[in-house]
Structure 1
Amino acid sequence: MTAGNARAEHVVVVGGGILGVSTATHLQRDGARVVLVTEGELADGASGRSLAWLNSAGSRSAAYHALRVAGIDRYRTLFAADPAREWLRFDGALFWSADPAKARERHGAEVEHGYDSKLLTPAEAAEAVPGVDAAAIPEAAVHNPGEGWVSLPHLIDHLVAEFTSLGGEVVTGAGRASVTTADGVATGVTTTGGQRFEADAVVVACGAATPAVVAELGVSIPDGSPLSMLVVTEPVETEMRAVLNTPRAALRPNPGNTFALDQDWYSDRITEAEDGTCTIDESVVKELVAEGSALLDGDVELTATSWRLGRKPIPGDGEPVFGELSAVPRCFVAFTHSGATLGLIAGELLAGEIRTGTPHPMLEPFRPERFQR
């Protein structure tokens, strides 16, 4: 850490998604004075269109896996405080690929790092996950019984209620933010809405816009954020409670007996205008929903009620980016594809670094300086 490891007392957090809100709430809990500034409304970006599957499935680095497992742990603590919450559930997940060998490979990687993983036949999968159609599954599926999902807009509302009750300030509709500096050190934020916020430290956690914000400071963070879509359905009656990750549709339950769906096969059919607004032909939405319906046992027909489009935040190398910018002391970033899984733990650890000036070892592999080496 830089700037003399000074303890930050007044912090401005830019971004109204889960990473920004979580960091702001953890800072406020620790006694800092925090202003949370967001371009539009809370959760109107990637957090409002995330499948938000809580997992560390598949193969990844040991450090990334450990951070994700810690992230799931924080959600389990939150779940234990009130298991009746319909927006946070741990009912497992089921994965399969058109190539059964990929499911076996995935299972093997998960077993190697001690992740709860079962390789099942279609019949076994249908028994383990009520509501799935066994006929939709090829030779093998991977069942991860410890995984879950969260509705990030609901979680954000929950955290913001605590944040404001502790004295935190939320500024929505502020327009695009820029970090201000003096002698190369971050001193606050200005917005295109004409507001200025002074601070001892600044956190940039504005999803796919993060690389552009820090680029104004002369810092390069490669951006691999693709176009994406999340569809929410009408309420439907089904036994399905797990997350399904399949070749043509990823599906999870959603509050109010609805479902949320996404995948990536249609990303090239999303059109993005110069102002960042996105459109897609409704026929693609219907095709995705039909693919989701085909995963469910019985005569279940899903119907789309809404869909949201935009960039899905993904750093250029796929790994998270957390911590202080060495080139701009007192400016911290939070930028990751796994915002849902890491939302609580990343906010906790980043807030700890900001308040104490002491780096946390779990975040060391994910520093922004790796792109300047």
Structure 2
Amino acid sequence: MAAAKQVIVIGAGIIGASIAWHLTKAGARVTVIADSAAGGVATPNSFAWINASWGNPEPYFRLRTRAMAEWTRLAKDLPGVPLSWCGGLCWDLSAADLETYAEEHSSWGYGIERVDRAAAARIEPNLTELPDFALHVAQEGVAEPVATTKALLADAERHGARILTSTVTALVQSNGRITGVDTSHGLIAADEVVIAAGVGSPDIAATAGVSLPIETPPGLIVHSRPYRKLLNGLVLAERLHMRQTAEGRIIAGSDFGGGDPGVDAEVTARELFAVMKAMLRDSDGLELDFHTVGYRPTPVDGFPVIGRAGGMDGLYVAVTHSGITLAPAVGLFATREILGGERDPLLAPYGLGRFAQ
């Protein structure tokens, strides 16, 4: 019997955690290395919307809907994952654009329902502003990002993975192949290294001469103190996206990725919170707790980078802005490719090599 493959996963955000969990379950010997706590940098600042919503070309839509199905599988395999299919109510586009989105995505099989003002009020009765026309997708949901990441890492560790808090200073090469990493704790050897370090990925890849064209736009999200239930699901209104977390916090951004923090993030946060509070009935006791400014690892064309780095054996890269939606599919597909050489057709457009053309 062949020895279990030794894999280093750099990054403890939701993408790294999912890859580590899937690899461990498949029999690999996994070491997760991160210089931050479980959740990494981007994951704790995520809106955590699981969707295949507007703005997606069909190939990316297919990857996202597959990932949504994989969330259901993951929740069965790892009971206790804080996953909720709460639905999303959307009217942050013009009526014409909403209709175009509904027609296109409905033809692709997305469960979109057109709703009027009365129906929107039944879905979200605590909104002070309601649209004349909106779209509702009952199959959209959320996974509380840090709790999910911690659950994945803890279960991977129970099954033999090693979690190491350290800083990766360089990828180690030998004869044109990545053979491990150099860290603040010393050299660690591996058969394969996975870079899933979000905004830190380009600097790590560069130590082996690999270029990752990634932008890191900031996004501000406000978080209330825990409060009684006001929202049933995701609300994607004009200039304001919000939801209520499992612990009762209402979180919001001017966009689901977070809004521009402006010159003074604290002032922007207070202004955004006031807009959010005004949009909710019976919110007099709702208080701002804190705001976060997350830096989203976003490949320059907006789509994921998932796959082996061309011309560099032993190195796999997984960096994407849509980390929450894609995490279970990326973990599954990356594991199959790393351990068995099988690349899922849904990943075909998303290799790093596309940037060399």
TM-score range, shorter chain: over 0.9
Alignment of 1:182-331 (within 5 A): 182-191=174-183, 193-264=184-255, 266-267=259-260, 269=262, 280-300=264-284, 302-331=286-315
Q: Displacement, 1:305?
A: 1.3
Aligned to 1:112: 107
**Contact kept in structure 2, 1:48 and 1:153, CA below 8 Å:** yes
Could you give the per-residue CA deviations for residues 82-103 of structure 1, whole angstroms, max 9, x where no partner exists?
88x5832111011112633332
Q: Displacement, 1:371?
A: 0.5
Could you give the per-residue CA deviations for residues 212-242 of structure 1, whole angstroms, max 9, x where no partner exists?
3223322223223211123221111234120
Aligned to 1:128: 123
Aligned to 1:150: 143
**Contact kept in structure 2, 1:7 and 1:354, CA below 8 Å:** no
Asked if 1:160 is matched to 2:156, the reply is: no
- Secondary structure in 1 matching 2:337: helix
Q: Displacement, 1:81?
A: 6.6
Q: Displacement, 1:301?
A: 5.2
Could you give the per-residue CA deviations for residues 58-104 of structure 1, whole angstroms, max 9, x where no partner exists?
13122211111111112223445788x58321110111126333322
Aligned to 2:132: 139
Provide structure 2 residue ranges, at least 5 long, that are not aligned to the other structure: none
Q: 1-side partners of 2:109 and 2:269: how far apart?
A: 37
Asked if 1:11 is matched to 2:4, the reply is: no
CA distance 1:220–1:102, shift in 2 (3 Å): same
Alignment of 1:172-187 (within 5 A): 172=165, 174-187=166-179
Asked if 1:342 is matched to 2:338, the reply is: no
Alignment of 1:331-370 (within 5 A): 331-370=315-354
Asked if 1:72 is matched to 2:68, the reply is: yes
Moved more, 98-107 or 315-324: 98-107
CA distance 1:177–1:65, shift in 2 (3 Å): farther
Provide structure 1 residue ranges, at least 5 long, that are not aligned to the other structure: 1-5, 271-279
**Contact kept in structure 2, 1:39 and 1:177, CA below 8 Å:** no
TM-score (norm 1): 0.88
**Contact kept in structure 2, 1:98 and 1:138, CA below 8 Å:** no
Asked if 1:92 is matched to 2:84, the reply is: no
Q: 2-side partners of 1:298 and 1:283: how far apart?
A: 24
Q: 1-side partners of 2:81 and 2:308: how far apart?
A: 36
Aligned CA RMSD, in angstroms, stands at 2.2
Which amino acid in 1 is paired with 2:46?
S
Among 98, 103, 106, the alignment partner of 1:103 is 98
Q: 1-side partners of 2:98 and 2:280: how far apart?
A: 20
Q: 2-side partners of 1:121 and 1:53: how far apart?
A: 23
- Secondary structure in 2 matching 1:269: coil
Q: Displacement, 1:52?
A: 0.8
Alignment of 1:18-97 (within 5 A): 18-79=14-75, 87-97=82-92
Aligned to 1:275: none
| Count of matched residue pairs | 354
TM-score (norm 2): 0.92
- Secondary structure in 2 matching 1:238: coil
Q: Displacement, 1:368?
A: 0.6
Which amino acid in 1 is paired with 2:181?
V
**Contact kept in structure 1, 2:115 and 2:134, CA below 8 Å:** yes
- Secondary structure in 1 matching 2:111: coil
- Secondary structure in 2 matching 1:77: helix
Q: 2-side partners of 1:89 and 1:261: how far apart?
A: 18
- Secondary structure in 2 matching 1:91: coil
Which amino acid in 1 is paired with 2:182?
T
- Secondary structure in 2 matching 1:318: coil
- Secondary structure in 2 matching 1:289: helix
Q: 2-side partners of 1:36 and 1:182: how far apart?
A: 22
